[in-house]
A and B are shown apart, each in its own frame.
Chain A
Amino acid sequence: MNDSKQPQGTGALAGLLVLDFGQGVSAPHCARLFADYGADVIKIEPRHGDAARSSGPYPGDQPHTERSGLFFFHNTNKRGVTCDVSQPAGRSLFMDLVRRADVLIENNLPAQMREWGIDYPTLAAINPNLVMISITPFGQTGPYSEWHGQDLNAYHLSGASARYCGRPGEMPLEHGTFSADYFGSVAAAAWGLAAVMGRDLVGGGQQVDVSCAEAIAAAFVGGQNIGGLAQDGRWDSRTGVGMPLGAPATILPCKDGHVWMLALEPGQWKGLCKVMGDPEWASLEMFDDMYTRAQNADLIYGLMSDWLMAHGKMEIMEKCQAAGCPVTAVFTIEEAARHRHLQARDYFVDIEHPELGRLHCLGAPFKLPASPGGPHAPAPLLGEHNREVFEGLLGKTAAEVEHLGAIGAI
């Protein structure tokens, strides 16, 4: 067991040994957060690899086990081993790793973990100090706990889409990314790290049960809606217009894309009017406050459109911001990637990968000046660190490792 009080390396989480036994996005992303800040993270993949290796994006759209962008992004800074836990020798190897670990992060169905014989009670018996972070769409308990689910299912089970995402009368929308997986993985990292730090205080490790759907249903949808629903039976659905109670408060098209048009407080509206050249229509009484503007939102958005279509989004953002109005351009991925602000903050880092070459990657999610973090090493190739980990960490001989390979355990 690593002693977290002994400084090893320079990252904030140096000294922690973390096992990533997840696939796809949720568990690997959670483990990447530990890896970003200095924990020693060993990724344990089945022999055919994390399912993310079979998902794009790939360079030139050519599928290749070692060239998945989805896999790369969530697995930087980790060492990678293969292990088939459905075989006795593989399971025994897995147990040897668990004995030494501070944290195990996984996202398998609870029934699958039981079938492999590596559910929490079994692992706690060999390592009572283990913090096992289980991240699934629906969680370890409850009637849907054995349901199959993807990010899509979890997000739509949270209430977020029907309430906030899409036009009424049309289908509710996903959030454009693995939104539920990310929400769940971040919650898991926060609660899981607390469990790690509190082990001495509370008498050992524990299982941290995260449902991605529940985390969003509670902390995003529930926070704003549950009190009113419980007390008054009151609830709302998506409107498709952004903020229905005030205007302008929506995404609107402009000359070269879209802007998030927001001008609610009197000073903000005045600032926007000034930037638009104080058009005569803007002084009409019905546009005096955000509520009356909201009642006439369609009219306003129509009246603004000539001006919007004559200007670029970055110019609109810059001028509105200078006038005290919180309008922002809707950045494309490329515009975000090239924005001088993020460049000036060194948000990007270069990482060399044997199959992908030099990559200009997204860096640390937050800055810790006294113990800098972020990705610096590429995602591991499949089984890249088998010898290093099994010989170096577990003390196997080269012959033993070779044998494990020969029988298909690794």
Chain B
Amino acid sequence: MSNKLPLKGIRVINFGWVWAGPVVGQTLGFLGAEVLKIESRARVDMTRNLPPFAEGIAGPDRSLSNHACWAGNGSVTIDLKHAEGRDLALRLIAESDVVIENFGPGVMERLGFGYETLRAVREDIVLFSMPAAGLYGPLEHVRTYGLSLTSLTGLDSLVGYKGGPPIPVENAYSDPFAGIFGAFAILTALHNRRRTGQGQHIDFSQQEAVMQMVGPAYMDYLFNGRSGAPKGNEHPSAAMAPHGVFPCRGDDRWVAIAVASDAEWTALIEIMDRPDWACDPALATTAGRLQAIGQIHAAIGAWTCDFEAHALAERLQHAGVAATPVLRVSDLLDDPHYRARGTFIEVTHPLGFRETIYGPYVKMSRTPAMVRPGPAMGQDNDHAFLEILKLPAAEYQRLKDSRVIY
């Protein structure tokens, strides 16, 4: 096993805020890049003040969800309203490979960090911008939150109970999705830079990246003029039946069952003890089962409700049927699979308290990911200003006293 990580030597300056931007940095950080998030006590990111807090004590360095989502990003505090602060940030960029931002279009220019300015200090810089709907176009300045951004892609129109209205997904799926996707975009640009020596300004429209998720529904529109609608848990391309979520014993307990083949269907009806279904030629094919899906689902639901979800899933799996318990948040820490894979881990925050965050959700056989806790504000200031920029100690102190470094 190597003690080096794949992105060792890559330095990233991250202006990203809230969720999506920090996740871009986090992804590169897991893989060995040195990521320095630029933030300031002059305008604390709203997610630093989200409860619950470590040990129940409120404070911008104690938000547990913020730490999980920002883990792996270092933190350098600079007040960018000061000209000297902007200059310090530019000097750090000159020593870096990548700059990340998730403001609206034009904000980086107004802050003094437009692509041309960055190129002037670092010719081959990769600037990664991830505005809601891209850097140009009629919706350039559209205002969204992560949880509503998906509405601009068509995806929200597909989520809901069959025959019913769209139901809002209650958190911003697009934020971590676009964040991780953004890391891929940056790596393609770095690969290109390695080939050609050339940097570039990546225009990553979250709308366009997330809209790739509706590709299958888009193809149906293209072929058949259909626009798609909520269909509960039925298969997105109507290629499997049964395909659903069914009630089990207990409060809000469910099992998810997907039958992809005739053999799995045979296994399912054997366990359910439904010889009548086995004898029905209309149900022997996926096409026939799709025709009768409502009736099949109702019968499966009447059968599953006597079972405990996990035990039933195991029993179905044993027979080769794809089935899983539907986990609640409360199940995640105790689930034997996630425990075995170290999905969630306890770390010590730089301020000394213990907290649980998610670890590397991708496992690398040669280079296990590096896990660092969520950053305390300014924890990397000494490194950034004394080691990277080599500021004289007195100058560093002056900048701190005058709240440029703040």
Contact B68 A223 (CB under 8 A): yes
Contacts of A187 in B (CB 8 A): 180, 361-362
Q: In the assembly, what is the distance between CA of A2 and CA of B233, in Å? A: 44
Determine if A186 is an interface residue (Cβ-Cβ < 8 Å).
yes
Q: Which of A144, A157, A337, A366 contacts B221 (CB 8 A)?
A: A337
Q: In the assembly, what is the distance between CA of A51 and CA of B200, in Å? A: 38
Contacts of A164 in B (CB 8 A): 169-171, 173
Q: Which of B4-12, B87-95, B386-394 contacts A (4 or more CB under 8 A)?
A: B4-12
Contact B214 A242 (CB under 8 A): no
Q: In the assembly, what is the distance between CA of A326 and CA of B341, in Å? A: 40
Q: In the assembly, what is the distance between CA of A113 and CA of B187, in Å? A: 29
* Closest A residue, CB atoms, query B69: A223
Evaluate whether A224 and B65 lie within 8 angstroms (CB atoms) in the complex, with A171-B254, A202-B6, A250-B168 already known.
yes
Q: How many residues of A contact B (CB 8 A)?
A: 163
Q: In the assembly, what is the distance between CA of A157 and CA of B258, in Å? A: 13
Contacts of B134 in A (CB 8 A): 345, 367
Measured CB to CB, the closest approach of chain A to B103, in angstroms, equals: 15
Contact A60 B337 (CB under 8 A): no
Q: In the assembly, what is the distance between CA of A195 and CA of B8, in Å? A: 11
Determine if B215 is an interface residue (Cβ-Cβ < 8 Å).
yes
Contact B355 A227 (CB under 8 A): yes
Contact A176 B358 (CB under 8 A): no
Interface membership of chain B positions 8-51, coded 1 if the CB is closer than 8 angstroms to chain A and 0 otherwise: 11000000000100010001101110000000000000000001
Q: In the assembly, what is the distance between CA of A151 and CA of B362, in Å? A: 17
Determine if A328 is an interface residue (Cβ-Cβ < 8 Å).
yes
Most buried by B among A139, A211, A367: A367
Determine if A381 is an interface residue (Cβ-Cβ < 8 Å).
no
Evaluate whether A341 and B153 lie within 8 angstroms (CB atoms) in the complex, with A33-B184, A359-B222 already known.
no
Determine if A215 is an interface residue (Cβ-Cβ < 8 Å).
yes
Q: In the assembly, what is the distance between CA of A59 and CA of B223, in Å? A: 5
Determine if B402 is an interface residue (Cβ-Cβ < 8 Å).
no
Measured CB to CB, the closest approach of chain B to A20, in angstroms, equals: 16
Contact B326 A214 (CB under 8 A): no
Evaluate whether A152 and B158 lie within 8 angstroms (CB atoms) in the complex, with A179-B213, A360-B222, A365-B209 already known.
no
Give residues of chain A (139-197) contacting chain B, Cβ–Cβ below 8 Å: 139-145, 147-179, 182-183, 186-191, 193-195, 197
Contacts of B51 in A (CB 8 A): 228
Determine if B344 is an interface residue (Cβ-Cβ < 8 Å).
yes
Most buried by B among A159, A187, A217, A233: A217
Tally of contacts, chain A with chain B, CB under 8 A: 547
Contact A330 B176 (CB under 8 A): no
Determine if A296 is an interface residue (Cβ-Cβ < 8 Å).
no
Interface membership of chain B positions 273-298, coded 1 if the CB is closer than 8 angstroms to chain A and 0 otherwise: 00000000000000000000000000
Evaluate whether A177 and B227 lie within 8 angstroms (CB atoms) in the complex, with A183-B177, A229-B329 already known.
no
Contact B224 A59 (CB under 8 A): yes
Contact A197 B208 (CB under 8 A): no
Contacts of B155 in A (CB 8 A): 175-177
Measured CB to CB, the closest approach of chain A to B224, in angstroms, equals: 7
Contact B330 A157 (CB under 8 A): no
Measured CB to CB, the closest approach of chain A to B382, in angstroms, equals: 27
Contact B361 A365 (CB under 8 A): no
Q: Which of B19, B56, B152, B213 contacts A182 (CB 8 A)?
A: B213
Q: How many residues of B contact A (CB 8 A)?
A: 159
Interface membership of chain A positions 318-340, coded 1 if the CB is closer than 8 angstroms to chain B and 0 otherwise: 00010011101111111111011
Q: Which of A9-17, A90-98, A385-393, A398-406 contacts B (4 or more CB under 8 A)?
A: A9-17
Evaluate whether A333 and B214 lie within 8 angstroms (CB atoms) in the complex, with A139-B363, A157-B325, A220-B176 already known.
yes
Q: Which of A188, A229, A258 contacts B332 (CB 8 A)?
A: A229
* Closest A residue, CB atoms, query B206: A366
Determine if A277 is an interface residue (Cβ-Cβ < 8 Å).
no
Determine if A369 is an interface residue (Cβ-Cβ < 8 Å).
yes
Contacts of A197 in B (CB 8 A): 6-7, 187, 190-191, 194
Contacts of B243 in A (CB 8 A): 150, 152
Q: Which of A194, A237, A253 contacts B252 (CB 8 A)?
A: A237
Contacts of B223 in A (CB 8 A): 57-60, 69
Contact A336 B173 (CB under 8 A): no
Contact A251 B156 (CB under 8 A): yes
Contact A14 B195 (CB under 8 A): yes
Measured CB to CB, the closest approach of chain A to B149, in angstroms, equals: 8
Contact A325 B237 (CB under 8 A): no
Contacts of A162 in B (CB 8 A): 252, 254, 326-329
Evaluate whether A56 and B237 lie within 8 angstroms (CB atoms) in the complex, with A171-B245, A202-B4 already known.
yes
Measured CB to CB, the closest approach of chain A to B61, in angstroms, equals: 13
Contact A227 B67 (CB under 8 A): yes
Q: Which of A40-48, A70-78, A299-307 contacts B (4 or more CB under 8 A)?
A: A70-78
Q: In the assembly, what is the distance between CA of A164 and CA of B173, in Å? A: 10
Contacts of B207 in A (CB 8 A): 342
Contact B216 A57 (CB under 8 A): yes
Q: In the assembly, what is the distance between CA of A182 and CA of B156, in Å? A: 16
Evaluate whether A243 and B153 lie within 8 angstroms (CB atoms) in the complex, with A159-B327, A198-B6, A345-B136 already known.
no
Contacts of A160 in B (CB 8 A): 173
Determine if B192 is an interface residue (Cβ-Cβ < 8 Å).
yes
Give residues of chain A (354-368) contacting chain B, Cβ–Cβ below 8 Å: 359-362, 364-368
Q: Which of A208, A226, A262 contacts B344 (CB 8 A)?
A: A226
Q: In the assembly, what is the distance between CA of A332 and CA of B156, in Å? A: 8
Contacts of B166 in A (CB 8 A): 251, 258, 330
Interface membership of chain B positions 86-115, coded 1 if the CB is closer than 8 angstroms to chain A and 0 otherwise: 000000000000000000000000000000
Contact B329 A365 (CB under 8 A): no
Most buried by B among A57, A148, A159, A215: A57
Contact B365 A209 (CB under 8 A): yes
Q: In the assembly, what is the distance between CA of A189 and CA of B195, in Å? A: 19
Evaluate whether A260 and B189 lie within 8 angstroms (CB atoms) in the complex, with A202-B6, A326-B143 already known.
no
Contact A69 B332 (CB under 8 A): no
Evaluate whether A236 and B329 lie within 8 angstroms (CB atoms) in the complex, with A262-B148, A326-B148, A368-B188 already known.
yes
Determine if A370 is an interface residue (Cβ-Cβ < 8 Å).
yes
Evaluate whether A195 and B159 lie within 8 angstroms (CB atoms) in the complex, with A190-B181, A341-B138 already known.
no
Measured CB to CB, the closest approach of chain B to A322, in angstroms, equals: 10
Q: In the assembly, what is the distance between CA of A37 and CA of B219, in Å? A: 21
Measured CB to CB, the closest approach of chain B to A119, in angstroms, equals: 12
Contacts of A148 in B (CB 8 A): 264, 317, 320-323
Contacts of A295 in B (CB 8 A): none
Evaluate whether A178 and B6 lie within 8 angstroms (CB atoms) in the complex, with A227-B356, A253-B165 already known.
no
Measured CB to CB, the closest approach of chain A to B171, in angstroms, equals: 5
Interface membership of chain B positions 232-258, coded 1 if the CB is closer than 8 angstroms to chain A and 0 otherwise: 110111111001111100001010101
* Closest B residue, CB atoms, query A140: B363
Contacts of A49 in B (CB 8 A): none
Contacts of A72 in B (CB 8 A): 219
In the assembled complex, 11 residue pairs joining A and B whose CB atoms fall closer than 8 Å, in A order, are: A4-B195, A153-B323, A193-B191, A195-B6, A195-B366, A215-B361, A230-B356, A243-B168, A362-B218, A366-B209, A368-B188
Not counting A59-B223, A173-B167, A193-B188, a sample of 5 additional A-B residue pairs whose C-beta atoms are within 8 angstroms of each other reads A12-B191, A162-B254, A207-B364, A217-B358, A371-B188
